[in-house]
Amino acid sequence: MTGTAHRSRYEEFSEYVSSRGPALLRMAKSLANNGSDAEDLLQAALIKTFFAWDRIASPSARDGYVRRAMVNTQISEWRRQRMAVYPTADIPDQRVDDPTWKTDLTDTVHRAIARLPDRQRAMVVLRYYEDLTEVQIADRLGVTLGTVKSTLSRAVTKLRQDADLTIDRATT
């Protein structure tokens, strides 16, 4: 590869990250538990994407490649965390939520989704944020269609019961 072609590859990738970065970070935040984890997740996915940049045939496939890399990376992280969890008699300190976050519906919904178990959160993000079909989710995550349907059903039920998302209809 010549220096000029190398340079244009870097420029092309840089332009892509500049233009699509905010949207990709929003998806990463939906998958990760906090902002810094989301930034790390996106960074890891972008590194994988950069190394595959020449193999991504269509510019319209780039977002899909990055999203897939984020989902795969996050699933791997969840598996590593699950393997590293050991039972203990000590109860860990609980995070105290900042009540000022509840003023914005987007933050409230994001926090409610973040409280879902990992698998439910991943499926909700893929179904309702990425607009994938249940069949596509099953293929991406390597599970059966029945697992996707039951997991999404349980997730939606939990979200409907979430006190932060409950609207007092008597006052509206």
| Rounded CA separation 144/131 (Å) | 18
Rg (CA), the chain: 19
Is residue 113 a contact partner of residue 125, using CB atoms and an 8 Å limit? Answer: yes
Within a 10 A sphere around the Cβ of 44, how many other Cβ atoms?
A: 18
Look at residue 170 in the predicted model and tell me its pLDDT: 42
- Is residue 126 left, alpha or beta, with left meaning phi > 0 and alpha meaning psi from -120 to 50? alpha
Look at residue 144 in the predicted model and tell me its pLDDT: 93
Q: Dihedral of the CA atoms 96, 35, 100, 168 (nearest 10)?
A: -90
Mean pLDDT by 10 residues, the chain (172 residues): 60 90 88 84 90 84 89 81 62 56 65 87 87 90 92 90 62 42
Look at residue 96 in the predicted model and tell me its pLDDT: 54
Is residue 29 a contact partner of residue 114, using CB atoms and an 8 Å limit? Answer: no
Token pair belonging to 150: 């039951």
Look at residue 171 in the predicted model and tell me its pLDDT: 43
Query: Where exactly does CATH 1.10.10.10 map onto the chain?
Result: 98-172
Q: What's the CATH number of domain 98-172, 3.40.50.970, 1.10.287.3610, 1.10.10.10, 1.10.1380.10?
A: 1.10.10.10
Token pair belonging to 9: 């590859």
| Rounded CA separation 45/53 (Å) | 12
Look at residue 73 in the predicted model and tell me its pLDDT: 87
168 CB-contact burial (10 Å; exposed 0-12 / middle 13-18 / buried 19+) = exposed
Query: Where exactly does CATH 1.10.1740.10 map onto the chain?
Result: 1-87
Residue with tokens 């935040």: 29
CA dist 25 to 42, 118, 137, 159, Å? 6, 18, 20, 23
Give me the architecture of the 1-87 domain, per CATH. Answer: Orthogonal Bundle (1.10)
> pTM (2 decimals)?
0.48
